[in-house]
Structure 1
Amino acid sequence: MLIPTDPIWIDSDDELEALCTRWRQQAAIAVDTEFMRSSTFYPIAGLIQVGDGKGCYLIDPLAITRFDALRELMLDEKVTKVFHSCSEDLEVFQCLLNCVPSPVFDTQLAAAFAGFGFSIGYAGLVKATLLHEIPKEETRSDWLQRPLSVAQLKYAALDVAHMLVVYGKLLQILKAADRLCWVRDDCAELVQQARQPDDYAQAWKKVGFAWKLRGAELAILRDLCIWRETEARARDIPRNRLIKEPALWEIARKQPKDAAGLQRIDDIPQRTLQEDSERLLHIVRDSSATPSAACPERPEPPLAKSEGPLMKALKNCTRERAEALALPPEVLVRKKEYEFIVRSGLKGREYALPDRLLSWRYEVIGKYLLDVTRHPQLETDESSAS
């Protein structure tokens, strides 16, 4: 099969609208993005690539002024948008078009269910499925420069040139293994997650050692994190350029009273000290007076060593099931889901599964994990013996 790989540059609104009308007649299109994010909070789209089996189209978002047709295409439920490792691409579209493409088919995710390993790169997948090598030299290019170099244009075109053929081969494998519905469910979950609004009020829970704080300290940490999330977006700068999480934790713990006390805390950028000291101190003063009933509930500490055997037994169970199904264990159960199961049974409660393990995963792995919770020592002993 002759696959067109020559880049076709699109910087005209009318031309883009005509192409989007045509693409909406197809069952699937290949999509990729190139963006920059080194000094901003939000990704800046430098290029949008679309492959339709007839050509590789490079859409210039810096020149396009009318995006309605592209947005309608991305939301057309009759057209599957095929990506490889789509999470960042979905964020790019959310920022550029204020929408999350749907439905999507992630070839990296699908490849794991098709037997090509966990988190395989696009070039590796093309080689594994089509026995064809594609270069990956331009991954760190400046995609906002104009004009783009010939090497950049060729690289960008190749990112979508083979994707629909790879998609077709993955569909065949997944249908034969009766796993296509699994992949579609997981791809739909990716879209749903991308659509979820950011919950600033929960950002403090991601801070390491938050469980060591209590009461007003947690209220301070919560409000500092809300400030960081809000300001990073408003100023369009990376969170860590504003202030890093360990510094927020130290502020919450030490509760400085003045600028001198704030300066004694490590790892606060000088610019933040100059511009935001008063605001940070104001948050500390106000939040330290939070009534006990309004303070965040103290997070649970890390699991005790006594829970280690059950955690190990659960992971052994998943590994054995994954080997039997020729699947990477990571696509069945996530690390946090093991912890959810273990914590669910603490204090004499009955062990439970997280929601994600109650769909198709229940019959594949969920019910086996529940069996382990009923006989954890037996599972551990059997695994050790084998």
Structure 2
Amino acid sequence: MTTPLAKPLMIDSDAELARCCAHWQTLPFVAVDTEFVRTETFYPIAGLIQVGDGERAFLIDPLAIGDWTPLVTLLQDPTVVKVLHACSEDLEVFSRLCGALPAPLFDTQLAAAFLGMDFSMGYSRLVSELLRIDLPKDETRSDWLQRPLSSAQIEYAARDAQHLAELYQIMAPRLDAAGLTDWLLADTAEQVAASTQVTEPELAYQQVKQAWRLEPADLAIVQVLAAWREREARARDVARNRLLRERTLCPLAQRRPDTTQALSRIEDMHPRTVRQEGERLLQLIREGQNVAPADYPARLPEPLPAAANRLLKRLRKVGQLEAERRGIAPEIMLRKKVLEAMVRTGYPDGPYRLPDELTGWRRELLGEALLNAANNVVEVTE
């Protein structure tokens, strides 16, 4: 089933963008979506910005706009709610495109979880469940930098904006009625703030999978390699793994190849990397080997042992019971990383304290119950 689609307005001049943004600032909300390309680049390249006002869709052509000031003003206008869906990558697009982020932000994926629907619900499924519309998927991997855009691309993009506005008009009143709007907006504000945090190159090694297995001497090499990869990926605007695959970092540190031939024998090492970056990688490995023991990075924390699962389950139950009482998706109450952080504050024998990762309304709502459950003050029961 599909609904009639009003002809979208293409915005391809600074004057038209300014006129539309001035109009949108008179509205209580706008739905916003982006289409972008990010196949081999570090940063997303905006191909289209879609805006829905509840009546029609507007398609902004980023390749034709020179002055983004009106959009910046709209994104930052506290009186206009910006509606997006699963927007982490959209935030990157806006940050790169115009240096501004949407606030206040209403994320329909998050709203669905607060309304007791599935956690991390996809856009097409949400549209299907709430609007009874089956969206085509033909253009999901389309080239949004091509010009002119095809009629199929234009309709696909316009429908996204139109239906996103329709979702908000259904979900926002329900969220208000449940008294959960403030929680949602607090979560999205945290998400926007987190999106501005940039990984320091010297700390990039901490995000390398399996790096916790390494001895400090090997970790020093991974630190040098990961820092170089992070800096170069940004400077060249190249995807990290195109420059140097993450899966090769730990083997490089452990095997320490000293020739390009040895480098090429590292599992998952791309021949292009050896050809273009081989000598530099060998130099970086030597730099890592020359780090003084006193300057080795500390070993990274190991994953929690299986024996900690009983405590994790007890803590998770606190969130699940509260979620059931309020009719929201249990996964949204307490994230795994928060529970693990709390276990780490006192494992294995306690006492346990609330971790810094537990913030805002969750800390106020669940803090005391979590402390009681962790420190065996009370038994968590149905």
TM-score, normalised via structure 1 length: 0.91
Q: Secondary structure at the match of 2:301?
A: coil
Aligned to 1:58: 59
1:205-354 residue pairs with structure 2 within 5 A?
A: 205-346=206-347, 348-354=349-355
| Cα gap change, 1:80 to 1:266, in 2 (>3 Å) | same
Q: CA deviation at 1:204?
A: 1.0
Please say which of residues 358-367 and 7-16 is displaced more in the overlay: 358-367
**Would the aligned equivalents of 1:4 and 1:53 in 2 still touch at CA under 8 Å?**
no
Task: Answer yes or no: is the 8 Å Cα contact 2:224–2:287 preserved in 1.
Answer: no
**1:9-88 equivalent positions in 2, closer than 5 A:** 9-88=10-89
RMSD: 2.2
- Give the deviation of 1:241 after TM superposition: 1.5
Give unpaired runs (5+ residues) of structure 2. Answer: none
Cα distance in 1, alignment partners of residues 63 and 198 from structure 2: 26
Q: Distance in 2 between matches of 1:15 and 1:90?
A: 23
Amino acid at match of 1:172: P
* Structure 1 segments unaligned to the other structure (5+ residues): none
Pair 1:117-2:118 in alignment = yes
Check 1:115–1:5 CA distance in 2 against 1; reply closer, same or farther (3 A cut).
Answer: farther
Contact 1:3 1:53 in 2 (8 A): no
Kindly provide the amino acid, as one letter, of the partner of residue 121 in structure 1: G
1:332 Cα deviation after fit: 1.0
Deviations 1:113-166, CA, capped at 9 Å, x for gaps: 122221222233233333444433321211111111111111111111132332
**Shift of the alpha carbon at 1:47?**
0.4
Superposed displacement of residue 251, structure 1? 1.0
- Confirm or deny that 1:127 pairs with 2:167: no
- Contact 1:4–1:54 (Cα < 8 Å) also in 2: no
Question: What SS does the aligned partner of 1:346 have?
Answer: coil
* In structure 2, C-alpha distance between the alignment counterparts of 1:132 and 1:258, rounded to whole Å: 58
Q: Distance in 1 between matches of 2:137 and 2:366?
A: 37
Q: Is the 8 A contact 2:37 2:46 kept in 1?
A: yes
- The amino acid of 1:216's aligned partner reads A
Q: Which amino acid aligns with 2:78?
A: E
Change (3 A) 1:103 1:314: same
CA distance, structure 2, for counterparts of residue 86 and residue 100 of structure 1: 11
Q: Which amino acid aligns with 2:307?
A: S
Residue 301 of structure 1 deviates from its aligned partner by: 1.6
1:329-354 C-alpha deviation (Å, 9 max, x unpaired): 21111111121111111265531223
Normalised by the length of structure 2, the TM-score is 0.92
Q: Give the stretch that moved more between structures: 62-71 or 313-322.
A: 313-322
Stretch deviating more after TM superposition (150-159 or 191-200):
191-200
| Matched residue, 1:375 | 376
Cα distance between partner residues in 2 of 1:131 and 1:276:
52
* Counterpart residue number, 1:95: 96
- Offset at 1:29? 0.9
Q: Distance in 1 between matches of 2:211 and 2:239?
A: 21
Q: CA deviation at 1:284?
A: 1.5
Q: Distance in 2 between matches of 1:212 and 1:116?
A: 38
Report the CA distance between 1:300 and its aligned residue.
1.6
Query: Partner amino acid for 1:194?
Result: S
Per the TM alignment, residue 10 of structure 1 is displaced from its structure 2 partner at its CA by 1.3
Aligned partner letter, 1:127: S
- 2:140 aligned counterpart, secondary structure: coil
Change (3 A) 1:3 1:172: farther
Is the contact between residue 341 and residue 357 of structure 2 (CA under 8 Å) also seen in structure 1?
A: no
Per-residue Cα deviation, 1:5-52 (whole angstroms, up to 9, x for no partner):
322111122111111122222221111001111122211111000112
Alignment partner, residue 109 of structure 2: 108
Which amino acid is the alignment partner of residue 8 of structure 2? Answer: P
SS of the counterpart of 1:90? helix
| Pairing 1:186–2:187 present | yes
Instruction: Tell me the distance in 2 between the aligned counterparts of 1:276 and 1:175.
Output: 55
Write the mapping of 1:359-374 to structure 2, written as runs, cut at 5 A: 359-374=360-375
Aligned residue pairs total 380
Q: 2:11–2:17: 8 Å Cα contact kept in structure 1?
A: yes
Summarize deviations over 1:230-254 as a string: whole Å, max 9, x none.
Answer: 1222222221122222211111112
SS state at 1:47 partner: strand
